[in-house]
Chains A and B, each alone.
Chain A
């Protein structure tokens, strides 16, 4: 009998290796599971860290967007907690709080994946535009007896006289000077619904029956009026209206003239958008100059003389102070002006002017027959008796003509706000999209000044439903 080469193990011992192998497999599987779990945990941790970092940068992007908005003349608010702004694969919302003295606190919350971060900065609008100074003089400002200076916000609505509910914004007028300010005279009631501030070495002298509702504290530093940079365009000669050709219209565009002269009973209309450089701007008695900025802004640079005679009319039908600028670069002659020589600016016209007047080197005297809605800056500014000036608060944030940016005063990391979107456990962007919310891109999510409160926030109910 031939025996098997390998002797079979006894029945009772068969399967022992299997058990050992199973044990090994089980051990390996367990170790594998542990490893996978560890890996997953690590990945989650890493993703969390990455999300936190992304959220941090998202919040930074929100701050930058708000900063940029303020530099552009917007409110600084970008998105809201209910309707945040989209940036790459995350969202953020930035709020801007006015702190006074030109300071703004921007707070931005960024959300990316499961990461959340909130940052805050304080910025200062260091260099204001000339128009944002209100009615400003370099050497001297005189508001004669009987004049009224107040304010309104053209973005909110039409001007309302002070006193009523609608006229609440009237207290924000700005009268200022690098030198001294004289408000009021011996006759008439003079009212400044706002500030009247002399320069650091100037004084404020008040006449009888004078009311100033804001501060009269001197500025701590003087503000230079920057010179006007006059653009250069090909000359189109002169445009003069006569009795036989009383009407003239200057089409939109940029051009230069030697003279624009509106004769008696003539009417000249300047249509925007346009930039006009003119050496002599004259409107005779009975003539009318219409600056129509309905289709775009109009800037008129006067390099020589501007004479809007008594009995002439100046009108700005678009009623948008931001859209119309009269910039006079001529210099006031030193000392007394010789007889027969016209001063750079003679303003005796009638009408309501919506716009800004800027004459850093010339003296401007606003007559009692004129109402100015906007702002005016000049070397010496005189507001004659019974004149009415209404500073447009929209000019405060209408952007700096000098192109200056706000300056950063402080930065800090703060706690997350107590709002629904921050408490979401999932990716906020994905959730908002799932809910059908059209999340705007950051550049389209800026709010204008005063706009935020009026917004309807459609995502609010949705988010509250998910996180009661």
Chain B
């Protein structure tokens, strides 16, 4: 009985808070009919959420989504004040998440308090996923936010899961030292999920931390470099392996392993020797090898592929050079190219391999299929359509 009274009293509170706010906002003695229906829809949303009614929630949200952005913003902004009950705050964030515009993350952040972090993060992630321009707005507001709010932004942007989001995290690494560690950690994970490399600025931002004096973020940068598979970070990582603290050395070893596929452990001399050899190849032989791959005769193309197949650094760059050979008129060259790509284990040439599976030669198709399975770790059949669906572009 008492619980029912309290519940009804809480619902009444929504109306008590909302309607006078809306009335004062329009400086009118009585709220307009559309405002009344918006308030009623919002109240219905709060009730539906409280009762766990998915249908009621969807119906209320559908009605609130039809409001203009400004009307919706007016409605929500007035609720974004300290002391708003959590249930109402959650409903407001629900509305923003469903129909918010790039300007609305700032309003969502006003609801940030203990217990609502996840909802605020969800809301911002939804808005930013729906409209990529949100990232530019987040750039603008980042500077003035407290650490907790910045951390929420970092988490939300990671969930957007696009190269542009990775770019935003890269900018965050440079601008927001208080959340740099978290941004690095999340950038690393995001990079592993992207279908194409993040913008070049991102790599630079991570390398700057590796070379800088921010010891707090160094460990996170080492891991991020590994997850980004940034071959340009190898000299930094070898330097850390040589002089870093034990924990940093262990992380650097892990990252070097991930970038190169080599397991040379703590043997700095071997890392140095290997890196010098590969650099020399890029300096002395890469140009002729790429030319041979592009326009050489069959023997030159095969020799170039075999030489490239022995390398470990800059795997993705090499893979992008090798990928066109999958369409080589000579099936043996195409098969070899697929084999070399399999050894490189680059996740950025999936589309080229999927196209190679459409070739008529069984040996090329088989090798491309094997490479796709090993690089994607997906057990799809040897059917070009299945792989094309995975790599639509």
Contacts and interface: CB of A to CB of B under 8 A. Distances in A.
Interface of A: 100, 171, 195, 201-206, 212-218
Contact of A202 (B189, B216, B219, B226): B189
Contacts of B223: 204, 216-218
Interface stretch (B246-254, B336-344, B350-358): B246-254
- List 7 tightest A-B contacts by C-beta distance, closest first: A217-B254, A215-B250, A203-B185, A205-B182, A213-B247, A203-B189, A217-B251
A202 to B, nearest CB: 7
Given A100-B265, A216-B223, 11 more contacts: A195-B250, A203-B185, A204-B185, A205-B182, A206-B216, A206-B219, A212-B219, A213-B246, A214-B247, A215-B247, A216-B219
B220 interface: yes
Contacts of B247: 212-216
A216 B216 CA distance: 13
B254 A203 contact: no
12 contacts: A195-B250, A204-B185, A204-B220, A205-B181, A205-B185, A206-B220, A213-B247, A215-B254, A216-B223, A217-B250, A217-B255, A218-B223
B49 interface: no
A333 to B, nearest CB: 15
Contacts of A213: 245-247
B170 interface: no
Contact of A215 (B182, B216, B251, B265): B251
B186 A203 contact: yes
Nearest to A209: B216
Most chain A CB neighbours (cut-off 10 Å) among B181, B192, B216: B181
Most chain B CB neighbours (cut-off 10 Å) among A201, A205, A213, A214: A205
A210 to B, nearest CB: 9
A218 B226 CA distance: 10
Contacts of A218: 223, 227
A217 B227 CA distance: 10
Nearest to A205: B182
B309 interface: no
Nearest to B186: A203
B250 A203 contact: no
Nearest to B266: A100
Contacts of B181: 205-206
Contacts of A205: 181-182, 185
B189 A216 contact: no
A201 B220 CA distance: 15
B115 to A, nearest CB: 11
Contacts of A215: 247, 250-251, 254
Nearest to A194: B247
B188 interface: yes
B91 to A, nearest CB: 17
Contacts of A216: 219-220, 223, 247, 251
A205 B216 CA distance: 11
A405 to B, nearest CB: 24
Contacts of A214: 246-247, 250
Contacts of A100: 265
Contacts of B185: 203-205
B217 to A, nearest CB: 9
Contacts of B182: 203, 205
Nearest to A213: B247
A123 to B, nearest CB: 17
A366 B149 CA distance: 28
A215 B245 CA distance: 10
B384 to A, nearest CB: 28
A131 B250 CA distance: 23
Interface in B212-245: 216, 219-220, 223, 226-227, 245
Nearest to A211: B247
A403 to B, nearest CB: 28
A201 B185 CA distance: 11
A216 B252 CA distance: 10
A206 B246 CA distance: 18
Interface string B244-284: 01110011001100000000010000000000000000000
A171 B247 CA distance: 10
A254 to B, nearest CB: 43
B118 to A, nearest CB: 12
A195 B188 CA distance: 19
Nearest to A214: B247
A213 B244 CA distance: 12
Nearest to B192: A201
A352 to B, nearest CB: 28
A217 B251 CA distance: 6
Contacts of B188: 203
Contacts of A171: 246
Contacts of A203: 182, 185-186, 188-189
B73 to A, nearest CB: 30
Contacts of B251: 215-217
Interface in B170-190: 181-182, 185-186, 188-189
Nearest to B52: A335
Nearest to B265: A100
A214 B249 CA distance: 9
A54 to B, nearest CB: 37
Nearest to A181: B185
A204 B185 CA distance: 6
A324 B192 CA distance: 41
B182 to A, nearest CB: 5
A101 to B, nearest CB: 9
A226 B107 CA distance: 45
B189 A201 contact: yes
A338 B223 CA distance: 40
Contacts of B227: 218
Contacts of A202: 189
B44 to A, nearest CB: 22
Nearest to B219: A216
A216 to B, nearest CB: 5
A255 B216 CA distance: 52
Contacts of A217: 223, 226, 250-251, 254-255
A214 B250 CA distance: 7
Contacts of A195: 250
Most chain B CB neighbours (cut-off 10 Å) among A202, A204, A213: A204
B159 to A, nearest CB: 12
A212 B254 CA distance: 16
A340 to B, nearest CB: 12
A205 B154 CA distance: 12
B375 to A, nearest CB: 15
A433 B321 CA distance: 70
Contacts of B254: 215, 217
A364 B31 CA distance: 51
A457 B26 CA distance: 95
A134 to B, nearest CB: 16
A215 B226 CA distance: 13
A204 B189 CA distance: 10
A265 to B, nearest CB: 35
B121 to A, nearest CB: 13
Nearest to A203: B185
Contacts of B245: 213
